[in-house]
Structure 1
Amino acid sequence: MRVFEFLRGKKGAMGIGTLIIFIAMVLVAAVAAAVLINTSGFLQQKAMATGKESTEQVASGLSALRVIGIHDGSQINYLAIYISPNAGSAPIDLNQTKILITDGKEKAVLKYGGSDKYYNLSAGGEVTNLSLAAWNLSAGQFGIIVLQDADHSCQPSTPVIDKGDIVALTINASAVGLDLAPRTTVTGSVIPEFGAPAVIEFTTPASYLDTQKIIQLQ
């Protein structure tokens, strides 16, 4: 009974002080909610961007279809690496692509030589025609010969390859310091801006025949 009498004698806090405390609590809750919403939105966008980049990195890349060489009877002077994007790959900019290649003694890092090192076979000719501009290379350069490009995405100044495209990347082995004598093991890769690289690995023949100037190496 005394408890009830004690409670009946109490009154709720009223007045401006209580109102200020109530408003402060509401404001703190609102600020906390806004921070949580902004943080969750930022994290969601970051996760989506990371997922997209990871998918591109895994699904994209290049595949080496074959490698051919042109020799002078004693060593291989020119190489052509046929590449194509992997299935499901995003478009790949060859301006941002590098070729790493070594003969075990010398190592070369090559980049696209520019629009004057480009040729499209739709204009006629053969990949192995050394008079094409794509073979006129200096140290540190590779050229591009377009074999298949239905949507015309691979242009001299913007050499982008996508689904179904096939191009040959040309290398002047002598100009970059490679000694491709018989029985030489060559390794390397064609590394795109993102995605899996195309692997190069072959051993040159035991001898070079004068009747067969063009040989398939890989």
Structure 2
Amino acid sequence: MYILDINKKHLPDTKAQIGIGTLIIFIAMVLVAAVAAAVLIQTSGVLQQEAQATGKQATKEVSSNLMVHKIEGYRAKNSSTDMATTLDLIKITMGLNAASEPVDLKEVVISITDGYRTNNLVYAGNTNSRAPSPEFEGNMSGISTTNATANLEKLLTETSTLGDAEINVTYVNSQVYFTVDNIRDEDDSFSQIHPVLTTGDLVVVYVSTASQSSVNTGYTTLRSINVSSTLRSSGLNLEPRATVNMVLTPEAGASANADFILPTTYGSNEMVQLYP
């Protein structure tokens, strides 16, 4: 049986807090927590985006690698027995390492030195690098969109005047440009205007190294190109025993270096294997 104790008193709970002040403090704590959470979420989002961008750039830097397969040099000539004492054209066969990112050859810079002079060359179809002012195009004058042989001939024999009557500059093509032709291009990524190199592609890069002595002699032919009385000097002089350093620097990724010492004599060879 339950017996009600009428003498038991209910004491007030002195530990509880009531009133508008407590409510304000509670709401303030909720607002502070919400603001802090929003800041953390925004900051983590920004950091994630920056980390992804940095990761992509780092991946591109280590995966976009040019591979130089071989380098050959050619002598200007009048006949098989009358040839220059210098190498007047360099042919570079190259591709990409496995799993490399595509490389736009329009953005590649080739630096070549014979120990006395250095030429920094850009692709003949590059419209920006050699422009005398932003409103002008800087590509080699008269560049063909389809004919690589015609572009090689212009590289060896012509000059380019860029700009207008007020602002202009004239370049010797062989001192500032290089040209390219493709050997293998299964995905149709390569053209004379958009020379993009992808994994599996194989191209040849032509660099003029025509010496002043060859120009003065007036040789008629350079690798099947008619250069009779029109060959232009590159300023380089690739005589036997000279040390040549070449660096190919893409827009992103590692540079490709090729250092070699020219043979003690070229003998009767029109073409000389230089690298590897």
Cα root mean square deviation, aligned: 2.0
Measure how far apart 1:26 and its partner are. 0.2
Equivalent position of 2:259 in the other structure: 201
Whole-angstrom CA distance in 2 between matches of 1:9 and 1:62: 81
Matches within 5 A, 1:76-87: 76-87=87-98
Whole-angstrom CA distance in 1 between matches of 2:117 and 2:106: 24
Going from structure 1 to structure 2, the CA distance change for 1:89 and 1:120 (only over 3 Å counts) comes to farther
Equivalent position of 2:32 in the other structure: 28
The structure where helix makes up a greater share of residues is 1
Equivalent position of 1:102 in the other structure: 113
Question: SS of the residue aligned with 2:266?
Answer: coil
Contact 1:93 1:159 survives alignment (8 Å) = yes
Q: Give TM-score scaled by structure 2 length.
A: 0.68
Matches within 5 A, 1:37-116: 37-72=41-76, 73-114=84-125, 116=143
Figure out how many residues of one structure are paired with residues of the other and give that number: 202
Measure how far apart 1:15 and its partner are. 2.1
Which structure 1 residue ranges, 5 or more long, are not aligned?
A: 1-6, 122-130
Runs of 4+ off more than 4 Å: 117-121
Whole-angstrom CA distance in 1 between matches of 2:153 and 2:242: 22
Whole-angstrom CA distance in 2 between matches of 1:80 and 1:120: 17
Deviations along 1:95-126, one digit per CA (max 9) or x if unpaired, are 110001111100110000118267678xxxxx
Whole-angstrom CA distance in 1 between matches of 2:93 and 2:147: 14
Whole-angstrom CA distance in 1 between matches of 2:111 and 2:192: 22
Question: SS of the residue aligned with 2:258?
Answer: strand
Which structure 2 residue ranges, 5 or more long, are not aligned?
A: 1-10, 77-83, 126-138, 156-172, 211-232
> What amino acid does structure 2 have at the position aligned with 1:39?
T
Going from structure 1 to structure 2, the CA distance change for 1:106 and 1:118 (only over 3 Å counts) comes to farther
Measure how far apart 1:176 and its partner are. 2.8
Question: SS of the residue aligned with 1:57?
Answer: helix
Contact 1:118 1:145 survives alignment (8 Å) = no
Going from structure 1 to structure 2, the CA distance change for 1:185 and 1:173 (only over 3 Å counts) comes to same
Question: SS of the residue aligned with 1:136?
Answer: helix
Whole-angstrom CA distance in 2 between matches of 1:161 and 1:182: 33
Shifted more, 110-119 versus 196-205: the winner is 110-119
Whole-angstrom CA distance in 2 between matches of 1:118 and 1:192: 22
Tell me the percent identity: 42
> What amino acid does structure 2 have at the position aligned with 1:133?
N
